[in-house]
Chains A and B, each alone.
Chain A
């Protein structure tokens, strides 16, 4: 059985736009927008700035200055935002004055979802017809494989926002299956523009991290620093170029600081992976954690420092070997009513 433990606002944020018919009329929203623009100009005048070039960031700064608040929750503090951000987009009333609904699928309950499914299936049949035509004329079918790794489908919340209607998990998975079937057909390039409405680009390379350039000390030796952590251990490493392969931890040699072979293997792992065992010197400081955690922290710190010495392809190889990710595993907390994080108390019959 599954127990609800805790969720964040990200998951609890219901799509307010889909919750019901509109609570705010169009005229009301228009009036709010006018009031907002007027208020923006007044605020600009008060702060002594130009009303024409007053951006949202300037508004936020001005409000934080004029109404300082000590509340911890940022969303409880006074804010002045454009009405479209404050009042979520909602569906207009779906029926006319005589009570007759506008959309032909209104009585299904999920009109936008079903109309979307119908549209997508229509495109699917279109593509199949095109395929049959090409096969009849004996022309070769276009087989350019669409790059699946670079994009992802819309999430359920994003789709709900697009349709302004609540969806169930089942509905969402059916829609995604239909889209995947459509994409799998060879001639799907015709409907490319339609498919792009439902897919989002993933950041192509996960190399969003900036690699720092090498620094040079007084004697002209190149060095670079890196920081790493694992559980409660924090480590900083300074890797010097043109070295003999000596590694010093907190002033002592690694042979004396880490008597266990496994820890020394972890320290040498980044160097061995890049093939630079005898070429670099390292001086590290580490504190906190236990024996294995300190070794993991130094490994991460040295891998981060080595990024500046190495080509981009090798950095990508290091990332795929798992050397550059912070290990998020920490000790699980003890729960009340249990002896440990997982162990329950001994069951006694009476």
Chain B
């Protein structure tokens, strides 16, 4: 049975093996830190850093660092949000297809916006946003719910209790709603990029079915406000 870290079994710091193996483990020793890929963070001069950042730097100098995953790169074109969305769109590990769909979506958004730009009168030209990345980020932000519902069972009955959501959960829900919306509620012949670009543009303007779903969730949470005291965390 392969032990978690096979390298360096003699040295105490590297060879971390718990007495009992938990189900969720990683090949890295827990002392390994996450890599920082952006070039700008290394070019800051020493004086501009705060106390915390200085401590972080010293810690990084002593501890080993994990390898950067293949989806992460320091180039201008790699965006962690876009990679997360691509991974969620991926089916059966077909990253090539997911990535091509994503790039076709961004291209479609750009085309539609450029069309609108060239047709618009002079004074409105500045308000039209052409950068697909900006539209993507703004649309995701608009789709994120603020509060969620969780099932709590009390005395045999299950209540839907309003609960605050973490940032990760909000982002995940926004992306999941967008993808399910595009996969299920479309005409049989429309392709994914087309439908996705349509949804993203609507979400950017705070319209569309995904925003409606977010509002429905908020209304349900507001309606169940009475049960908020059931939450114990």
Contact = CB atoms under 8 A, between A and B. Distances in A.
Contacts of A149: 55, 58-59, 61-62
A265 B65 contact: no
A9 to B, nearest CB: 8
A272 B5 contact: no
Nearest to A151: B62
Interface stretch (B31-39, B160-168, B219-227): B31-39
A193 interface: no
Contacts of A321: 35-37, 42, 68, 74
B60 interface: yes
Interface in A254-280: 260-262, 265-266, 268-269, 272-273, 275
Interface residues of B, number: 48
Contacts of A292: 70
Contacts of A10: 9-10, 12, 15, 17
Nearest to A317: B42
B203 to A, nearest CB: 26
A311 interface: no
Interface residues of A, number: 48
A328 interface: yes
Interface in B1-60: 1-3, 5-7, 9-10, 12-13, 15, 17-23, 27-28, 35-37, 39, 42, 55, 58-60
A316 B95 CA distance: 32
A319 interface: yes
A326 interface: yes
A265 B73 contact: yes
Contacts of B10: 10
Contacts of B209: none
B123 interface: no
B66 interface: yes
A91 B99 CA distance: 65
Contact of B7 (A6, A268, A328): A328
A148 B54 CA distance: 12
B84 to A, nearest CB: 15
Interface in A304-350: 316-317, 319-323, 325-330, 332-333
B72 to A, nearest CB: 8
A202 B63 CA distance: 9
Contacts of A300: 67
Interface in A42-70: none
B123 to A, nearest CB: 39
A320 B34 CA distance: 8
B19 A7 contact: yes
B27 to A, nearest CB: 4
Contact of A322 (B15, B17, B67): B67
Q: Which of A150, A269, A330 has the most CB of B within 10 A?
A: A269
Nearest to A152: B13
Interface residues of chain B: helix, strand, loop or mixed (majority): loop
B78 interface: yes
Nearest to A260: B96
B75 interface: yes
Interface string B183-224: 000000000000000000000000000000000000000000
A2 B62 contact: no
B99 A261 contact: yes
A319 B42 CA distance: 12
Contacts of A330: 2, 27
A321 B65 CA distance: 8
A108 interface: no
A288 B55 CA distance: 41
B73 to A, nearest CB: 5
Nearest to B51: A145
A155 B58 CA distance: 22
A257 to B, nearest CB: 15
Contacts of B3: 6, 8
Given A10-B15, A262-B70, A325 B65 contact: yes
Interface stretch (A117-125, A203-211, A214-222): A203-211
Given A3-B21, A10-B17, A266 B70 contact: yes
Contacts of B73: 265-266, 269, 272
A54 B42 CA distance: 52
B67 A326 contact: yes
23 contacts: A2-B20, A2-B21, A2-B22, A3-B20, A6-B3, A8-B3, A8-B9, A10-B12, A10-B15, A147-B58, A149-B59, A149-B61, A202-B13, A265-B75, A269-B74, A269-B75, A292-B70, A295-B70, A321-B68, A323-B68, A325-B64, A327-B67, A329-B27
Interface of B: 1-3, 5-7, 9-10, 12-13, 15, 17-23, 27-28, 35-37, 39, 42, 55, 58-68, 70-75, 77-78, 95-96, 99
Give 4 nearest A-B pairs by CB, closest first. A322-B35, A322-B68, A149-B58, A327-B67
Interface of A: 2-8, 10-11, 147-150, 155, 202-206, 260-262, 265-266, 268-269, 272-273, 275, 292, 295-296, 300, 316-317, 319-323, 325-330, 332-333
Given A5-B20, A260-B96, A268-B75, 15 more contacts: A7-B17, A8-B3, A148-B55, A149-B59, A262-B70, A262-B95, A266-B70, A269-B74, A295-B70, A316-B61, A320-B35, A320-B60, A322-B68, A327-B67, A328-B6
